Structure 1
């Protein structure tokens, strides 16, 4: 597999952070979404192996070391991006896996993110809902994204961009 340019991976991590920071209470952030949607179950079964960070790396997801967090909205965590899956609306092929630090030196899988570049097509959708966006970012351009919190409960809803239960506090600052 050819090496992926690091600037693209950095741009995707920045894209996720910036695009969600630009959003204001998207419709997908509504509470009470049903986690039993058949495609969410497919997504879970296809990605549960990524609870092992090494499995994600082995399958082409590239680790980023910048944790995405908003002071008011909560966190997304660390994005692991697979450039081959950008543009996918296949529930089994998310463009990014989101991890949080467990404050013991390990990362735990918390959510999936789907990213589709905006080429003028109708708003993409998955799980019977439209993506959030479009957002425009240098290095990535115009894109849509959708989060799926299927590994950590999100009180804001399964499809909310941020989870108030995720933080980016470094282990040395974690509360005992």
Structure 2
């Protein structure tokens, strides 16, 4: 074989190896995360305006949640009926998260929440939604609710800490001046 042909074959093999390596590097978890973000965006497209969320049964819960070291979770609008039902549905998040920015409420993402006792009435393992394991929050907690599982999904705001991190350093409670802002030092 001539040198030119060997060079072409070598480049083709190298290209195939590079593509295969890139495909393998994308883990199933990353694919599931992208899919869950897409589902959250579809489920909350109609809640860009907080008044639409309120009309659908979501109400303000504990104002704006922040941490001096980690940023903020934002302003949670929670549907109490969904929190207490012991079930999870990707298309019906229990909480929708907003941030007051330039005098306007802007959607950031959601928080899926299920009371631990209600969940374990019909499930042995902790909740998992589209491949994402929930975090457990014991009681007593600063929210004053029974032990629960939660999963944040930052579908509308990039979070450098990760799509599923609780706090987002890009989010602030600075402009929020409504009902009791809750920071990490709150009981």
Q: Could you report, residue by residue, the CA deviation over 1:108-142 in whole angstroms, capped at 9, with x for unpaired residues?
A: 01010011111244200113021001422364211
The match for 2:111 is 113
Higher helix share: 2
TM-score scaled to structure 1, two decimals?
Answer: 0.72
Cα distance change on mapping 1:72 and 1:82 into 2, 3 Å: same
Q: Could you report, residue by residue, the CA deviation over 1:68-124 in whole angstroms, capped at 9, with x for unpaired residues?
A: 00011110111100012113421111111111011x321101010011111244200
The match for 1:67 is 64
Q: 1:150 aligns with which of 152, 155, 168?
A: 155
Whole-angstrom CA distance in 1 between matches of 2:48 and 2:30? 23
Cα distance change on mapping 1:142 and 1:170 into 2, 3 Å: same
The match for 1:85 is 82
SS in 2 for 1:164: coil
Structure 2: gaps spanning 5 or more residues: 1-28, 178-187
Structure 1: gaps spanning 5 or more residues: 1-31
More off after superposition, 150-159 vs 84-93: 84-93
Cα distance change on mapping 1:170 and 1:134 into 2, 3 Å: closer
Cα distance change on mapping 1:62 and 1:147 into 2, 3 Å: same
Residue 128 of structure 2 contacts residue 134 of structure 2 at CA under 8 Å; is this kept in 1?
yes
Cα distance change on mapping 1:36 and 1:143 into 2, 3 Å: closer
Residue 64 of structure 1: how far off its partner (Å): 3.7
Larger Rg: 1 or 2? 2
Residue 40 of structure 2 contacts residue 109 of structure 2 at CA under 8 Å; is this kept in 1?
no
Whole-angstrom CA distance in 2 between matches of 1:152 and 1:70? 18
Q: 1:123 aligns with which of 118, 121, 126?
A: 126
Residue 171 of structure 1: how far off its partner (Å): 6.7
Residue 37 of structure 2 contacts residue 154 of structure 2 at CA under 8 Å; is this kept in 1?
no
TM-score scaled to structure 2, two decimals?
Answer: 0.68
Tell me the C-alpha RMSD between the 2 structures: 2.2
